[in-house]
């Protein structure tokens, strides 16, 4: 790293810290313990508007079978729109640096129109049991897959799998058979895989305010309705944030927390001190043989900051005026494909923007990518999925509380090597009271469960083993405490 960049980075860190201290002194004070009970209050997001002071209606608790069946009329309309696609001219000597390569977009359009078979993938989706149930006025779509009862199954873990944007439940379909089959330890998983409200085939919220705490509350209600008072929760992207919220707001219902990636955001004096220590004395600070690899997750700061600026333009749009861009995406299937699939290029590996096809079919098949786009197109939920950014990003206080809250439930994190945002374990371990496992994966990008399902499933299984050992040790300690208490009373 050049001396100039190092001096510039140090200067930027000092200026950032001083500015935050001057303008946001509250960040440098000890936060009051957040009152998470406020997030547990029931709400109503249904189509029927409630009058002022009207009591929230009770949701029916019945669970209905769901089968996906897109009408022929909708599919014919899609093909008509694809035929009438308009394309921009592609700049010479560029690939994905300006966004989706319009020459390759023509390839996508031709495949989608002439080769892709939605009914085949619709049938695959329908091969797993799906249901809907109403919670807080919304019909929640979810998969519920139980392992077969055999002599090989010794322990069944209920697990909630939560997706993100621009993904969907489809990211986890490859994991279902891997998780429901018992391993050598006899571990199998009862899978509950919902669509976030406003995503997939869950109903979109009909009033403002649907955010991470609301999603967490609805999913806890869903798990309880299915008979699970305690469960493992797992997620990536927004699913990671929702699972984190479930674990901090409802720790009594969480057996274990498993995350792909982490939401580390430096926002306290302690965080900036850690960054300065890591920057100035990395070998001493990390104290491990791979200290240079750990250092490169966050630094050089100039380079990381530039990368984040390049890759977060979508976030600023969706966190401010989501409906404007959604109007165009809802009208043009090829526009929607370009907008969504570009993320599967840039977020899988940064070098893919140097390729004419964006590296899209290096880790995924075109059928897989288009099926995910089809879920957004056929559900009509593109606008609602983008509004989720506004509802959360404009609530700075909650996002800060969430990312800085102490996680007390047993937890595990797997960090893909090519993810957009990464942080060394030493930056985040103080936030987890019982961090049983931290996997620094040497492969994979942001959509790790979609790209490398074997790796994520293996990590979940390893965490489950450690979780059982942790619970056993806890029970042993509690028994010893009770015995000691009885002895002291005698």
List the catalytic residues.
237, 389, 446
One DSSP character per residue, 280-329 reads HSHHHHH-STTHHHHHTTT-SHHHHHHHHHHH-HHHHHHTT-HHHHHHHH
Which burial class, exposed, middle or buried, applies to 226 when counting CB atoms under 10 A from its CB (0-12, 13-18, 19+)? middle
Cα 457 to Cα 475: distance, rounded to the nearest angstrom: 27
Q: Using alpha carbons only, give the angle 166, 331, 79 rounded to the nearest 5 degrees.
A: 95
User: Pick from 315, 317, 320: which is nearest to 394 by CA?
Assistant: 320
Rounded Cα distance, 371 and 383, in Å: 18
Tokens 């880790």 belong to: 363
Q: How far apart are CA 3 and CA 336, in angstroms?
A: 44
Residues 6+ apart with CB under 8 A from 234: 159, 160, 161, 162, 243, 257, 258, 259, 260, 460
- Single out the residue of 191, 187, 164, 186 nearest to residue 175, CA to CA: 191
Beta bridge partners of 432: 407
Other CB atoms closer than 10 Å to residue 454's CB: what's the count?
10
Contact of 258 with 232, CB cutoff 8 Å: yes
* Angle, alpha carbons 65-222-131 (nearest 5°): 10
Give the pairing type, strands 254-260 and 130-135. Answer: unpaired
Considering only CA atoms, which of 315, 337, 316, 335 is closest in space to residue 327? 335
Which has the closest alpha carbon to 293: 302, 303, 283?
283
Distance CA 414, CA 419 (A): 11
Round to whole Å and give the CA distance between 45 and 370. 30
Query: Sheet harboring 254-260: ordered strands across?
Result: 64-66, 130-135, 138-145, 187-194, 155-162, 231-236, 254-260, 411-415, 435-440
């Amino acid at each position: 790293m050049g001396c100039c960049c190092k001096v510039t980075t140090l200067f930027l860190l000092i200026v950032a810290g001083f500015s935050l201290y001057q303008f946001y002194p509250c960040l440098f004070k000890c936060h009051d313990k957040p009152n998470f009970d406020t997030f547990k209050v029931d709400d109503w997001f249904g189509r029927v508007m409630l009058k002022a002071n009207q009591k929230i209606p009770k949701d029916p608790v019945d669970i209905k079978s769901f089968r996906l069946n897109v009408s022929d009329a909708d599919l014919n309309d899609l093909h008509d729109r694809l035929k009438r696609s308009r394309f921009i001219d592609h700049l010479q000597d560029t690939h994905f640096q300006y966004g989706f390569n319009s020459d390759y977009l023509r390839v996508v359009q031709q495949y989608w129109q002439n080769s892709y078979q939605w009914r085949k993938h619709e049938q695959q989706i329908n091969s797993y049991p799906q249901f809907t149930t109403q919670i807080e006025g919304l019909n929640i779509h979810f998969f519920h897959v139980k392992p077969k009862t055999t002599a090989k199954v010794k322990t069944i873990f209920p697990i909630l799998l939560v997706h993100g944007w621009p993904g969907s439940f489809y990211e986890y379909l490859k994991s279902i058979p891997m998780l429901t089959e018992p391993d050598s330890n006899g571990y199998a998983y009862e899978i509950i895989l919902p669509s976030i409200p406003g995503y997939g085939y869950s109903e979109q919220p009909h009033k403002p305010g649907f955010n991470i705490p609301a999603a967490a509350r609805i999913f806890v209600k869903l798990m309880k309705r299915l008979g699970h008072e305690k469960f493992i929760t797992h997620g990536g992207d927004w699913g990671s944030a929702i699972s984190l919220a479930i674990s901090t707001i409802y720790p009594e219902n969480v057996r274990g927390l498993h995350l792909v990636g982490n939401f580390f955001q430096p926002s306290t004096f302690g965080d900036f001190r850690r960054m300065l220590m890591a920057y100035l004395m990395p070998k001493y600070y990390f104290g491990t043989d791979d200290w240079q690899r750990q250092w490169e997750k966050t630094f050089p700061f100039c380079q990381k900051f530039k990368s984040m600026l390049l890759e977060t333009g979508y976030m600023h749009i969706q966190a401010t005026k989501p409906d404007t861009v959604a109007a165009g995406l809802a009208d043009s299937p090829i526009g929607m494909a370009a907008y969504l699939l570009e993320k599967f290029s840039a977020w899988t590996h940064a070098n893919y923007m140097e390729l004419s096809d964006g590296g899209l079919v290096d880790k995924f098949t075109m059928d897989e990518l288009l099926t995910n786009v089809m879920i957004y197109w056929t559900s009509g939920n593109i606008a609602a999925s983008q509004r989720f950014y506004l509802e959360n990003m404009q609530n700075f206080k909650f996002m800060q509380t969430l990312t800085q809250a102490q996680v007390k439930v047993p937890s595990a994190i797997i960090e893909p090597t090519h993810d957009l945002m990464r942080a060394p374990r030493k930056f985040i371990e103080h936030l987890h009271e019982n961090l049983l496992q931290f996997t620094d994966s040497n492969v994979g990008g942001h959509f790790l469960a979609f790209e490398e399902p074997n790796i994520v499933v293996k990590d979940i299984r390893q965490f489950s083993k450690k979780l059982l050992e942790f619970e056993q040790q806890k029970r042993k300690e509690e028994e010893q405490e009770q015995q000691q208490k009885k002895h002291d009373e005698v």
